[in-house]
Structure 1
Amino acid sequence: MTPVDERALPAPDGSTGLDPDDWDSFRSLAHRVVDDLVDHLATRRDQPVWRPMPDDVRASFDSPLPRAAAGAAEAYAAVSERVVPYSMGNDHPRFWGWYMGAGNPVGNLADLVASVLNPNLGGADHAPVLVEQQVVRWCAEAAGYPTSASGLLVGGASEANMVGLAVARSARIGPSLRQVGLPRDRRFAVYASSEVHSCHRKSCELLGFGASALRTVPVRADFTLDVDAVAAAIAADRAAGIEPLAVVASAGTVNTGAVDDLEAVADLCEREHLWFHVDGAIGGFLALSGSGDAVRGIERADSVALDLHKWMQAPIDVGLVLVRHEPDHRQAFSVVPDYLAHAQRGIAAGEVWFSEYGLALSRGFRALRVWMAFTAYGADAFGAVMDRTTAQAHRLAGLVDDHPEVERLAPVGCDIVCLRYTAPGLDDAALDAVNHEVVIRVQESGVAIVTDTVLRGVVAVRVAIGNHRTRDDDLDLFLAELVRHGRDVVAGLTTSPASAPSAGGTATDRS
């Protein structure tokens, strides 16, 4: 065990609280931590993306609550030995699982600054609140949305989507909702494509509509929303006495990255007097890129959910909800008890209290990791990342199309490629099992992280290249590894169907 550095512990008489008795000793440890983390980032490419956790490491997390001090150095040693080597791996250039950005070094430093300052972003008059307000405006501009919009940073797009639908519920049902709840004699419906993210079902459940209120309508051949089918569903619901409330369009679906026709959805919502919400978790910032035309119409939405820790590469977690009309947003959430009364002067002043725009009162300084990154890199750098990873996705798609042992299952949407290892003589069920097993073997090899999903009833290998560290040769290495494992799995099969690997718990991919 690492010897306890008594100087890095609080004074025995408690006079320093939880601060170290010797700040110089703590400073040395802090410098070592930063140096180690920079080394980790600088050499990350040379390490496995992910590795299975040994049994003894896993068992070490079952230990009881520590009552006595081990010291900061000992705590850090445990992290270095038992956490860092077995982390998720999404900081690695070949992590393309679910949909996650890789983070960025400036954002990492911002997290350290934010943690030390430790401000509460619920409200009050202090600079971090102004930072978040500026980040909201900057992100609205980056997404091509009105900068006058109200906005709130949250944990991710799932939460942002729920806030957006909560505002829609409040604005469309009226002020009585907050006092007496949902009217018992009325039923409501929310419309989205069958490819919509699962968080929208959760939102409908938690907002009291019920899962059945989410009407998932068919998609077209390119996996985008069939707007005509939405119009037909709206008409059928109205005829049945069900009140259409909102339409959710996806700017980048979770499975294939397909971008719905936002202009067409905006026209439909305007015609039918419905709330127009855009789930922009993946492609909501495409306006920064050379593919900005794909999201034309986003500026007409009543609310938009965005995710900074995906294609925008912020350290997890930071999402954003934008609401076109600030009064709608505030009226859906504002509660100001006496102990939070706002003032004209002093620390309780401040123009915006974010606690009035969402559920949380205590909120961390997420905004700094976005503010520092925008300032350091410039917003155009993130558009360039989008352009590069989009080009890499199309390059991988071309390699797949040219390879006799793999096939592509969907058009490239944003930067997502869905493919499948194939072999003659195997039916779909056997190929499902083969591809599921191939994904696991690729993961366990440490070469790359990809995941599987289901597209039109068959298992697909899903490669989401939302990673600013990815190089073209990373994709070449992955495809070679996938084909190698595919051959090995197929070679291990016998003529008995029972010997095929099990597809097990394969489920539709959600992130």
Structure 2
Amino acid sequence: MHNSDAFNPEVFRQQAHAVVDLLADYLQKVQEAPATEPVLPWTPPHEMLQRWTSDFDQARDPQGLIRDVIAGSNHLHHPHYVGHQVTSPLPLSAVFNLVSSLLNNGSAVYEMGNVSSAMERRALQWMARRLGFDDKADGVLTSGGSAGNLTALLAARQAKAGFDVWQNGQDAGRPLTLLVSDQAHYCIKRAVQIMGWGEAGVVLVPSDARYRLDPNRLEEKFHEAEASGRQVIAVVGSACSTATGAIDPLQKIADFAERHKLWFHVDGAHGASFVLSAKLREKFVGIERADSVVWDAHKMLLTPALITAVIFRNGRHSYESFAQKATYLFGDEQARLENWYDVGMRTLECTKNMMGFILYASLASYGEGFFAQYVQDMADLAQEFAHMIDEAPDFELATPPEANIVCFRYLGQGVAEKDLDALQERVRSRVVTSGAFYLVQTRLRGGLFLRTTLINPETNEEHLHELLRALRQA
């Protein structure tokens, strides 16, 4: 391509039309003939590296390049994709992502991202209402659940530590810690250690037989931490956990947090979307009492990654996560509180894409009812899959699913208990490298289990029957 063509609207029109045609053909192919199309065209890492040279002396045909990328990628839109908690995004939301990329309005200060800033605030207000928060709630969008949980816990530290860590450092008071289930996502511990609290900054609370935080152990762990000289400032609930989809007893955790004047944070990165279903909402009773909630749109709201909401019941806390001064951008402290539209003062990013536009446009284009039905359908499918497993003598369910994550293992015939972990690894590896299905594995108390996240709206019961057959064959 000549440099004169790089920004030529007609050249772009032709290229973009061709790319959309490629993507539409791809979607049709993986949806209509899943049995013949691999989910993951497995290629060992060293072979994949050899496919892509670092020689950029000559320009390549972009359509050919995109064809190669599509052909070699993990196909999340394939109905046999039941792997990680990354969704098959709505095709239209991918188009919104294209608009964001072309406009490139970084949403840190209003002047650079005026439309997206307003859309972000409206989308967050809608999410806050669905969680049960009132008009005092506020928040931000950030890049993923790890950044979201860190943002919330930084606010907890500023609100509950009793000293200003930003100004005076971590040693200005007692060592800080928080309580969290032993099933919590690793990013909670990572956030704590980023904040400088050390290994002891996380106190793990044992989970019950269904992998939910055991609220009866909270008092014990709280007093153990305090007796060791540490100051407990927060308790974290999972809704739902990554490994099994377990939903912690949020109401009882909220009672405990209130009794001890602790910050109550809910990691709802995966599960918060289930509050949209009237049938499932009761499992999340207590989330409306949280001080902060993380909610990923790129999981159960079907947007491209990454879009994570960090929502504070008291919106003023959203200004405390990054309580540093940048007067050349945001002015004095009072101006920061009034100028909600300059969101860079409240986010890890100084530049981010138009997340607010992508989320708002997706919600506006399909309506709340669409997403409520989708999350309910995925939860219902998980229940049906669990029933299939219960009915199959050669499979074992780890725990009844509460959301759309199902953990199970293949027992085989006459396989000794000590050999079951190796069996799971072997059958999963064979299924994944064959391209038949993409699923993952997780280690639970009973050993190694296969794990599925039912997140693709095109996946149905027959596909799951095929999965069991593929595992037996493997």
Aligned counterpart, 1:321? 310
Could you tell me which amino acid in structure 2 is paired with residue 148 of structure 1? K
Aligned counterpart, 1:497? none
Aligned counterpart, 1:76? 63
Q: Deviations over 1:6-58 (max 9, x none)?
A: 5xx323xxxx8x523xx323321221111111221222222321111377653
Could you tell me which amino acid in structure 1 is paired with residue 105 of structure 2? P
TM-superposed CA distance for 1:338, in Å, is: 4.1
Is 1:159 matched with 2:147? yes
Structure 2 counterparts to residues 248-259 of structure 1, below 5 A: 248-259=236-247
How has the CA–CA distance of structure 1 residues 475 and 76 changed in structure 2, closer, same or farther, with 3 Å as cutoff? same
Aligned counterpart, 1:461? 450
Structure 2 counterparts to residues 99-498 of structure 1, below 5 A: 99-125=85-111, 126-174=114-162, 176-183=164-171, 186-289=174-277, 290-341=279-330, 351-485=340-474
Could you tell me which amino acid in structure 2 is paired with residue 75 of structure 1? P
How has the CA–CA distance of structure 1 residues 57 and 213 changed in structure 2, closer, same or farther, with 3 Å as cutoff? closer
C-alpha separation in 2, matches of 1:239 and 1:56: 54
Aligned counterpart, 2:51? 60
Tell which deviates more after alignment, 325-334 or 241-250. Answer: 325-334
Aligned counterpart, 1:496? none
C-alpha separation in 2, matches of 1:176 and 1:104: 43
More helix by share: 2
How has the CA–CA distance of structure 1 residues 175 and 390 changed in structure 2, closer, same or farther, with 3 Å as cutoff? same
TM-superposed CA distance for 1:194, in Å, is: 0.8
Could you tell me which amino acid in structure 1 is paired with residue 90 of structure 2? N
Identity rate, percent: 28
TM-superposed CA distance for 1:336, in Å, is: 4.5
How has the CA–CA distance of structure 1 residues 180 and 385 changed in structure 2, closer, same or farther, with 3 Å as cutoff? same
Give 5+ residue unaligned stretches, structure 2: 333-337
Contact 2:394 2:413 in 1 (8 A): no
Could you tell me which amino acid in structure 1 is paired with residue 49 of structure 2? R
Secondary structure class of the residue paired with 2:17? helix
How has the CA–CA distance of structure 1 residues 143 and 364 changed in structure 2, closer, same or farther, with 3 Å as cutoff? same
Aligned counterpart, 1:10? 3
RMSD after superposition = 2.0
Contact 1:106 1:372 in 2 (8 A): no
TM-superposed CA distance for 1:127, in Å, is: 1.4
Could you tell me which of 34, 39, 49 is aligned with 1:49? Answer: 39
User: TM-score if structure 2 supplies the norm length?
Assistant: 0.92
Could you tell me which amino acid in structure 2 is paired with residue 384 of structure 1? Q
TM-superposed CA distance for 1:446, in Å, is: 1.7
TM-superposed CA distance for 1:116, in Å, is: 1.5
Aligned length: 461
C-alpha separation in 1, matches of 2:412 and 2:62: 50
How has the CA–CA distance of structure 1 residues 463 and 64 changed in structure 2, closer, same or farther, with 3 Å as cutoff? closer
Aligned counterpart, 2:18? 32
Q: Deviations over 1:108-153 (max 9, x none)?
A: 1111111111101002242121011111112222333335322111
Could you tell me which amino acid in structure 2 is paired with residue 374 of structure 1? L
Could you tell me which of 85, 88, 92 is aligned with 2:74? Answer: 88
Secondary structure class of the residue paired with 1:235? helix
Secondary structure class of the residue paired with 2:317? helix
Contact 2:404 2:455 in 1 (8 A): yes
Aligned counterpart, 1:346? none
C-alpha separation in 2, matches of 1:234 and 1:359: 30
C-alpha separation in 2, matches of 1:341 and 1:464: 42
How has the CA–CA distance of structure 1 residues 456 and 59 changed in structure 2, closer, same or farther, with 3 Å as cutoff? same
C-alpha separation in 2, matches of 1:428 and 1:383: 41
Contact 2:301 2:371 in 1 (8 A): yes
Secondary structure class of the residue paired with 2:171? coil
User: TM-score if structure 1 supplies the norm length?
Assistant: 0.86
C-alpha separation in 2, matches of 1:56 and 1:182: 47
Q: Deviations over 1:345-402 (max 9, x none)?
A: xxxx964211111221111112222111111111121111111111111111111111
Aligned counterpart, 2:335? none
Give 5+ residue unaligned stretches, structure 1: 1-5, 344-348, 486-511
TM-superposed CA distance for 1:98, in Å, is: 2.3
TM-superposed CA distance for 1:174, in Å, is: 4.1
C-alpha separation in 1, matches of 2:331 and 2:261: 36
Could you tell me which amino acid in structure 2 is paired with residue 94 of structure 1? H
C-alpha separation in 2, matches of 1:427 and 1:184: 55
Contact 2:163 2:173 in 1 (8 A): no
C-alpha separation in 2, matches of 1:400 and 1:130: 47
Larger Rg: 1 or 2?
1
Secondary structure class of the residue paired with 1:43? helix
Could you tell me which amino acid in structure 2 is paired with residue 53 of structure 1? T
TM-superposed CA distance for 1:476, in Å, is: 1.2
Tell which deviates more after alignment, 51-60 or 465-474. Answer: 51-60
Could you tell me which amino acid in structure 2 is paired with residue 183 of structure 1? D
How has the CA–CA distance of structure 1 residues 450 and 326 changed in structure 2, closer, same or farther, with 3 Å as cutoff? same
Q: Deviations over 1:263-282 (max 9, x none)?
A: 10000000011000000012
Tell which deviates more after alignment, 142-151 or 121-130. Answer: 142-151
Contact 1:152 1:322 in 2 (8 A): yes
